[in-house]
Every structure is written in structure tokens, then in C-alpha cells.
């Protein structure tokens, strides 16, 4: 039975209290048995409890729950470097999409890609996420948009869930954009999503959630309602890409359909925020996407003051967020969103776990939860996010097993 000692600051990140309440313990220790946490407290209170335990030393560092990246588009083929350059030269995201770039470009490449290549790409990214302290990831499909490729992508996530230490929750995002072959024929595409793909995904038990990109250039509120109703019928809970580029009632819709989370929200209305608070919908901030699109960062104070829990994720994808660096996203929230480091840490752990319905097993350091945690080379969360470095994580544990760092 292992015990981790010499923790200068243990951020337990329990759900209770406000966004900034980390429920931290100074000079702490942590013990676990197989995969579950059995004891958390001050090291002085540990004496005699675990005499024969394996003793591990945190070196006076910060220990946090394993980070949770609750919004990624992990499986795709091909990067879109040239669009990054085009945007630097002044082209907008929409202009690029209209000239053959954007999501449809990735869809074409992903349809052609063989599963082994996609699997290798995903595995490579997850390995690097683990080095940053990430232990759970939500993965969306949506770069296939036909039955065959959507099932191909979701099957890769299922394979990874059994073979990679990171915990994965899968989301079917058929309603990402209307694919080129259905242009001018939107209702036929929605029929395919609702009557063929959703039942097939559910039948094969390949996803927990379904997501819709609600935006002027993507899907309307009514179209989203149709997809969510079909999803519900087949056991897929709603998540929404809402109000990213324009205020379109996405936050209100998320509350109406009892979505697990509403993500982006840069342009969400006050009424929408109020409804989200009433419904208990988690807001997911995606600061790396705002950075790459040179958008003003989500103003989280309105959400937090309104009683909405705010999570943070990378939105990792080849277009608007080609980075999977969650700690960078957390620092960006402090700089551009007036969020404190403590609030950003709860956003990347327990609230992110809530946004993918894994908060019952991970996202906080408590007795009975899985021993998913990371050792960070900093005295406390404030200093960690202030003194930003490429990687301050020195050890990552999933289910009590060290998967990265010295000794892994």
C-alpha cells in the first residue's frame, strides 16, 4: 500500500464550496490501495497508520488531482499549418472555410486515413498529455460525418480506453458541419445523423454524449433540438458548442435540453447564463481557441457570479486550437479572464470531470476516489500558473500507478 509524503500543498479540489475553494492541506500525505485513495490528511496525523507502506516522496512540491481535458477533437488526420499562416496574413476563419479549408479539409483527410495511422496519432498526443499531468480526456468524433468514418473514429477511442492509461469519455459530434456532399440538402444530412448514425453509435456502445455545433455557419437551434432528441432516445446525453462566434441562444438551449455542458460561450447572453445556472449546466472555457482566433477571452466572472461552474479544456483540433497544453490554457484564463489560479485549477479538475460525468470517480483527491493525481514542481497553484514553464509536472499517477515521471 503506497503512501506519498512531503507534499507542501495538496489541492484536494473537492466539489463543495465556491469555484476558488480548493480545500487544500499543507504539509500533507496521501495513501492508496490498488487503485483507490484510502487516506488524505496532514502528514503529522499519518503516524502509525501505514507502517509497512511503500514510501514515496513528493519533494515538498504541489500535488493536484489529475488534470481533466473535457473538450478535445483528438482523432484527425493532417495538420492545417497553411491556415495558421493565412490567418496571420489577415484571412478570417470563415473565409478560409469558404475557400476549401477548415473543417471539411480535415474531414476529407480523416475519411482517407487508415485506423492504424489515426490510432498512432491519438496515442502520441495522449502520451504527451500525460506528461503535463492529464489523466482523463473527452474525445469527440466529427471529422468523418459519414457512418463509416464516425464509427471508425469512435472505435479508436474505445480501443484507446482499454489500452492507454488515460481515461476517455467519447462524444459523437455528427452535427459539426453539414458535409459538402449534403450541401443544399441539410434535412437529409440530419436524417442520416438522427436515424442511422446515432442508433449505430448507441447500438455499439461507442459514445456517452452527443454534441452539436450551434452556430450561424453550422446548425440552428431547431436542428440541434432534433439531434438531441434522437440522442436522448438512444441514451446519448447532450453537450453543446454554443455562442462561440455569435450570440445565437446556445446557452439557453443547453439549459433547455439539460446538457451536461455548454462549451465556448464567448458571446452568451445574460439570460442564457441565468438559465444555465438554474439547470446546473457546466460552462467550458476554451482559452486556447480564443488565443488562436485572436478573440477576447471568455469573461468568466459573469458566469461564476451567476452561479455557474466553469471548467476549462483545450479544444485540441487542427484548425482553431492546435495545442493540447491544458496548463497554458489555465494561465491564459488568469491573464485574460480574471480567473484566479485556484479557480482555474478547480476548472481543470473536478468541474471538468463534471463536464464529462466522471466526477464520481476522479477530478478530486478524496477517500474512495481513484488515485489519479499529479506532482507539480511548484510550492502552490498560484506560483505554478504564474511562473509558466513548458512543463512543471514531475509525476503523473492514474489509478495509483505512476505513468509518467521518475520511477514510472
CB of 387 to Zn ion, least distance (A): 29
Tell me the per-residue interface mask from 67 to 106 with Zn ion, x by CB under 5 A, - otherwise.
----------------------------------------
Tell me the per-residue interface mask from 261 to 300 with Zn ion, x by CB under 5 A, - otherwise.
----------------------------------------
Q: How many helices (H) and strands (E) does the chain have?
A: 16, 15
CB of 388 to Zn ion, least distance (A): 24
Q: Which of positions 150-209 make contact with Zn ion (CB under 5 A)?
A: none
Structure letter (DSSP) for residue 303:
H
- CB proximity list for 385: less than 8 A, separation 6 or greater: 327, 330, 331, 334, 341, 344, 345
Q: Would you say 171 or 226 has its CB closer to Zn ion?
A: 171
What residue number has its CB nearest to Zn ion? Answer: 315
Q: Would you say 321 or 394 has its CB closer to Zn ion?
A: 321
Contact 276, 308 (CB under 8 A): yes
Q: How far is CA 314 from CA 37, 119, 326, 359, in A?
A: 28, 20, 6, 19
CB of 211 to Zn ion, least distance (A): 8
Query: How many residues sit close enough to Zn ion to count as binding (CB under 5 A)?
Result: 1
Q: Would you say 315 or 372 has its CB closer to Zn ion?
A: 315
If binding is defined by CB under 5 A, does position 138 make contact with Zn ion? no
| Cα-Cα-Cα-Cα dihedral sign, residues 167, 260, 139, 309 | negative
Q: Would you say 287 or 381 has its CB closer to Zn ion?
A: 287
DSSP, collapsed to helix, strand or coil, labels residue 351 as helix
Tell me the per-residue interface mask from 220 to 259 with Zn ion, x by CB under 5 A, - otherwise.
----------------------------------------
CB of 145 to Zn ion, least distance (A): 15
CB of 212 to Zn ion, least distance (A): 11
Beta-bridge mates of residue 36: 33, 370
Of the candidates 268, 270, 313, 323, the residue with the CA atom closest to the CA atom of residue 293: 323
Q: Would you say 320 or 364 has its CB closer to Zn ion?
A: 320
Nearest-angstrom CA–CA distance, 395 and 383: 18
CB of 269 to Zn ion, least distance (A): 20
CB of 168 to Zn ion, least distance (A): 16
CB of 99 to Zn ion, least distance (A): 21
Structure letter (DSSP) for residue 378:
S
Nearest-angstrom CA–CA distance, 183 and 194: 17
Q: Which of positions 303-322 make contact with Zn ion (CB under 5 A)?
A: 315
Nearest-angstrom CA–CA distance, 18 and 319: 34
Q: Would you say 146 or 315 has its CB closer to Zn ion?
A: 315
Nearest-angstrom CA–CA distance, 354 and 155: 24
Q: Would you say 156 or 398 has its CB closer to Zn ion?
A: 156
Nearest-angstrom CA–CA distance, 79 and 268: 30
- Using CB under 5 A, list all residues that contact Zn ion: 315
Amino acid at each position: 500500500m503506497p503512501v506519498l509524503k512531503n507534499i507542501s500543498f495538496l489541492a484536494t479540489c473537492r466539489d463543495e464550496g465556491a469555484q476558488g475553494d480548493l480545500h487544500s492541506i499543507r504539509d500533507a500525505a496521501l495513501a492508496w490501495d490498488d487503485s483507490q485513495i484510502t487516506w488524505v490528511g496532514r502528514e503529522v496525523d499519518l503516524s502509525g497508520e501505514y507502517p509497512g507502506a511503500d514510501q514515496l516522496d513528493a519533494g515538498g512540491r504541489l500535488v493536484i488531482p489529475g488534470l481533466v481535458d473535457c473538450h478535445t477533437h483528438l482523432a484527425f488526420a493532417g495538420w492545417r499549418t497553411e491556415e495558421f499562416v493565412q490567418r496571420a496574413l489577415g484571412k478570417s476563419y470563415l473565409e478560409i472555410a469558404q475557400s476549401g479549408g477548415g473543417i471539411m479539409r480535415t474531414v476529407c483527410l480523416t475519411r482517407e486515413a487508415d485506423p492504424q495511422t489515426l490510432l498512432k496519432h491519438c496515442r502520441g498526443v495522449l502520451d504527451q498529455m500525460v506528461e503535463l499531468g492529464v489523466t482523463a480526456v473527452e474525445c469527440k468524433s466529427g471529422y468523418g460525418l459519414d457512418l463509416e468514418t464516425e464509427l471508425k473514429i469512435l472505435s479508436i477511442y474505445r480501443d484507446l480506453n482499454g489500452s492507454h492509461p488515460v481515461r476517455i469519455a467519447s462524444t459523437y459530434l455528427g452535427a459539426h458541419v453539414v458535409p459538402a456532399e449534403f450541401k443544399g440538402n441539410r434535412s437529409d444530412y440530419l436524417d442520416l445523423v438522427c436515424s442511422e448514425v446515432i442508433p449505430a453509435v448507441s447500438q455499439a456502445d461507442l459514445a456517452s454524449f452527443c454534441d452539436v455545433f450551434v452556430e450561424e455557419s453550422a446548425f440552428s437551434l431547431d436542428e440541434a433540438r432534433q439531434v438531441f432528441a434522437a440522442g436522448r432516445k438512444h441514451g446519448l446525453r447532450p453537450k453543446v458548442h454554443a455562442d462561440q462566434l455569435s450570440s445565437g441562444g446556445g446557452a439557453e438551449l443547453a439549459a433547455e435540453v439539460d446538457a451536461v455542458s455548454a462549451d465556448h460561450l464567448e458571446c452568451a447572453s445574460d439570460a442564457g447564463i441565468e438559465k444555465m445556472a438554474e439547470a446546473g449546466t457546466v460552462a467550458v472555457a476554451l482559452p486556447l481557441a480564443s488565443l488562436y482566433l485572436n478573440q477576447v477571452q471568455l469573461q468568466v466572472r459573469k458566469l461564476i457570479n451567476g452561479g455557474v461552474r466553469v471548467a476549462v479544456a483545450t479544444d485540441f483540433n487542427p484548425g482553431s486550437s492546435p495545442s493540447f497544453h491544458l496548463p497554458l490554457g489555465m494561465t491564459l484564463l488568469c491573464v485574460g479572464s480574471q480567473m484566479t489560479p485556484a479557480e482555474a485549477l478547480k476548472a481543470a479538475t473536478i468541474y471538468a470531470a463534471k463536464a464529462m460525468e466522471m466526477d464520481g470517480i476522479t477530478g478530486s483527491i478524496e477517500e474512495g476516489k481513484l488515485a489519479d493525481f499529479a506532482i507539480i514542481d511548484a510550492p502552490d497553484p498560484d506560483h505554478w500558473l504564474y511562473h509558466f514553464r513548458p512543463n512543471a509536472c514531475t509525476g503523473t499517477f492514474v489509478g495509483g500507478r505512476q505513468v509518467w515521471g521518475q520511477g514510472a
